[in-house]
Amino acid sequence: MSDMTQGNAPGQHYPPGQHPDMPPPPGTVGFVGWLRNNLFSSIPNSILTILAIYLLYAAIPPILGWAFFNADFEGASRTDCTAAGACWALIDVRGKQFLYGFYPDEELWRVYVAGFILLLAILPVLFDKIPFRKLLFANTILLPVTGFFLLSGTSGSPEAILPTVETPQWGGLLLTMVIGVTGIVASLPIGIALALGRRSNMPVVRTMCVTFIEFVRGVPLITILFMSSVMVPLFLPEGVNFDKLLRCLIGVSLFSAAYMAEVIRGGLQAIPKGQYEAAAAMGLSFWKMMYFIILPQALRIVIPGIVNTFIGLFKDTSLVLIIGLFDLLGIAKTVVTDANWIGLIHESYAFVAVIYWIFCFGMSRYSIWLEAKLHTGHKR
């Protein structure tokens, strides 16, 4: 073992079975080895590495300078921003609108409570090993009711504990969350139903599902939003009117359900016929077979596709601006038309982009974690 440090000396032989373990040649493991294998493995790779380092050097300092070092963080209007960088005073002053739209100041506590309830409601859905899961689940199931009454109020009179806040006053991140969460929660079960329907043996069910999916997938979301806000009222009798936001929620949910259905159908098709046969042979009914055997496997396979659809849906909520609802992006657009802040497009959009990115990146990381957790070694 005295030659452990010298690596494999050439020409040295050992009797069979006597060969000692030796360290690998120098420069193949550790930090130097990693650099060699990954960044400088060949001449083109080395050139690309150097180019990439130069690009990062050229891009990052100016961005940091604009966003932080040369930026103004306080002020009452654009003229207070004297530095060369970003004017974050805009966010400081108009932050409330970015987050809540035109929700009345004195009722904002309701938004905070609703946000807290939403957070508690999401926890038991995302994680199966948290304390008080059953209790939290009860909260989750009640969320549509509690959330609705908290945000929209119970009575029109101002003396009521929860005076009505009309939905046109909702906006910003609040509105984005309401549409996004509703769309996500509604589209998954509707999508599953449509996917099962499309694979059904019953011609009527199948035709209806196929027609719905192909129709909705064939038109842009904007068309659906327009139809829900402009055309639906035309068909309703005089005096009957239901909320624009509600119509928009239904439109968004059905739209993403059609996409979801196709993603889930892909998962269903990946399940071998033997799984259906084994379940049927054991006497499981169709719904039990789906619930216990087929869907858990099919959904696991298509987690990336499902989360992809969720992320797309979350960002598509910005299209509601078209029908006059001011979501996060809508607020960003209107804020910079204010005379005090006119022209601060970069700051406004950068702020909104960061918020969208945080939510979408969170969904993406969660899906990776979930895939790893549900991996039970059937791919050996």
Partner 1 sequence: MSEAAQTASVPEISDEVAIQIIGMHKWYGQFHVLKDINLTVRRGERIVVCGPSGSGKSTMIRCINRLEEHQQGQIIVDDIELTGNLKNIDAIRREVGMCFQHFNLFPHLTVLENCTLAPIWVRKVPKAEAEETAMEFLEKVRIPEQANKYPGQLSGGQQQRVAIARSLCMNPRIMLFDEPTSALDPEMIAEVLEVMVNLAETGMTMICVTHEMGFARKVANRVIFMDGGEIIEQNEPEEFFNNPQSERTQKFLSQILAH
Single residue of 29, 48, 278, 353 touching partner 1 by CB under 8 A: 278
Distance, CA of 208 to CA of 254 (rounded, Å): 14
Amino acid at 293: I
Number of residues this chain uses to bind partner 1 (CB under 8 A): 24
* Region binding partner 1 by CB under 8 A among candidate stretches 229-237, 332-340, 355-363, 371-379: 371-379
Distance, CA of 286 to CA of 196 (rounded, Å): 11
327 closest CA partner among 98, 113, 118: 98
Distance, CA of 318 to CA of 332 (rounded, Å): 11
Return the C-alpha torsion angle 301, 307, 308, 309, nearest 10: 100
CB of 205 to partner 1, least distance (A): 17
* Region binding partner 1 by CB under 8 A among candidate stretches 7-15, 54-62, 356-364, 370-378: 370-378
Single residue of 108, 185, 210, 284 touching partner 1 by CB under 8 A: 284
Is there binding between residue 169 and partner 1 (CB under 8 A)? no
Single residue of 104, 296, 312, 343 touching partner 1 by CB under 8 A: 296
* φ, ψ of residue 76 in degrees (nearest 5): -105, -20
Count other C-beta atoms under 10 Å from residue 73's C-beta: 13
CB of 275 to partner 1, least distance (A): 6
Single residue of 133, 199, 300, 315 touching partner 1 by CB under 8 A: 300
331 closest CA partner among 119, 169, 166: 169
* φ, ψ of residue 50 in degrees (nearest 5): -65, -40
Give the x-and-dash track for 117-156 against partner 1 (CB under 8 A). Answer: ----------------------------------------
Is there binding between residue 374 and partner 1 (CB under 8 A)? yes
Give the x-and-dash track for 258-277 against partner 1 (CB under 8 A). Answer: --------------x-xx-x
Distance, CA of 227 to CA of 230 (rounded, Å): 5
Q: Which residues make up the interface to partner 1 (CB under 8 A)?
A: 272, 274-275, 277-285, 288, 292-293, 296-297, 300, 374, 376-380
